[in-house]
Structure 1
């Protein structure tokens, strides 16, 4: 059973997660040929935080981090900002009851993580954000759905690969419960 995460730890994780999301999203976004669509490394980090600290931490880190990214240069896009929260919520919920923090990251957990990332990206970038942009922002459907599909593909790959690597390294760095024995 996973040790409980204290409220203080959750607040610190939200702050660190939002800060990492902001720095990666603002300064390390890699442009794609589609306007206003980038390859985003921050979704790997956001997925890791959702796995390690739960969906609430992921939701708040993603929302705060994305608002900061948009507020400092891209303009406010509420459907894409809340999309980061939706992404983290889905990953966090699918990955509940994992044992990565206890040093366990077996292949079935990795597969569940990759599936969570792909489903979360599909719901977020192919449905949530584009539909919201059409309904709320009055954007042309062809434009925002094209952006959404590109975001789905690149974010799925980066979050699954980098997030999986980060979680694997993290799990290996942890001492497994019951792995220490007393020599007599």
Structure 2
């Protein structure tokens, strides 16, 4: 007997991926906020990646993060692959928040927001504090002091970006959803 469940991304997820790449690219390209650390900015695109991942899951989060970062790097010159890959991993990890947030079917609670923020903190530490700097050292022979300063700065600013803007986006979206057992009689 055949299952009605389709394999791969839904049409909605494919559209969200394309639109998400465009939005995150625009945020990364035209709204970077300087930190004072070379090549490291406060990135509101990470908050939008987290928002999309929370709704559509790891595949959309990972693809949006990877391609938006790639296109942003290409718009400046050469792609910096270690950070592009780290961003894709961030999007993939944060997309797993969909499994416990269940924004389309359940109310958003403080406990779920705390879980989301614990996940995003761990993902940011892993991706920007470990993967990207170690990749820069191994692949590009960059000085450890420089890349770990960039990584720590990116970790802190992205934790704040996702923690504030991402949480606000998720909370606003959750208010637009009609969850089961939430309807009442007039």
- The answer to whether the superposition gives a TM-score over 0.5 is yes
The residue that corresponds to 1:132 in the other structure is 135
Find the aligned partners of 1:49 and 1:141 in 2 and give their Cα distance. Answer: 33
The residue that corresponds to 1:109 in the other structure is 112
Please report how far the alpha carbon of residue 94 of structure 1 lies from its aligned counterpart in structure 2 after TM superposition.
4.4
The residue that corresponds to 2:27 in the other structure is 24
Please report how far the alpha carbon of residue 102 of structure 1 lies from its aligned counterpart in structure 2 after TM superposition.
2.8
Query: Which whole-Å deviations, capped at 9, do the CAs of 1:124-177 have from their partners, x for residues lacking one?
Result: 001010000000011111100000000000000111111111111111111122
The residue that corresponds to 2:38 in the other structure is 35
Do the aligned residues in 1 keep the contact of 2:53 with 2:97 (CA within 8 Å)? Answer: no
Find the aligned partners of 2:171 and 2:77 in 1 and give their Cα distance. Answer: 33
Do the aligned residues in 2 keep the contact of 1:37 with 1:150 (CA within 8 Å)? Answer: yes
1:35-114 aligned at under 5 Å gives the runs 35-102=38-105, 104-114=107-117
Q: CA RMSD in A?
A: 1.7
Please report how far the alpha carbon of residue 95 of structure 1 lies from its aligned counterpart in structure 2 after TM superposition.
4.2
5+ residue gaps, structure 1, are none
TM superposition score normalised by structure 2: 0.91
Please report how far the alpha carbon of residue 17 of structure 1 lies from its aligned counterpart in structure 2 after TM superposition.
1.2
Please report how far the alpha carbon of residue 6 of structure 1 lies from its aligned counterpart in structure 2 after TM superposition.
6.0
5+ residue gaps, structure 2, are 1-5
Structure 1 consecutive aligned stretches of length 4 or more whose deviation exceeds 2 Å:
178-183
The residue that corresponds to 1:15 in the other structure is 18
| Distance verdict in 2 for CA 1:13–1:170, change over 3 Å | same
Please report how far the alpha carbon of residue 96 of structure 1 lies from its aligned counterpart in structure 2 after TM superposition.
1.7
1:179 to 164, 179, 182: 182
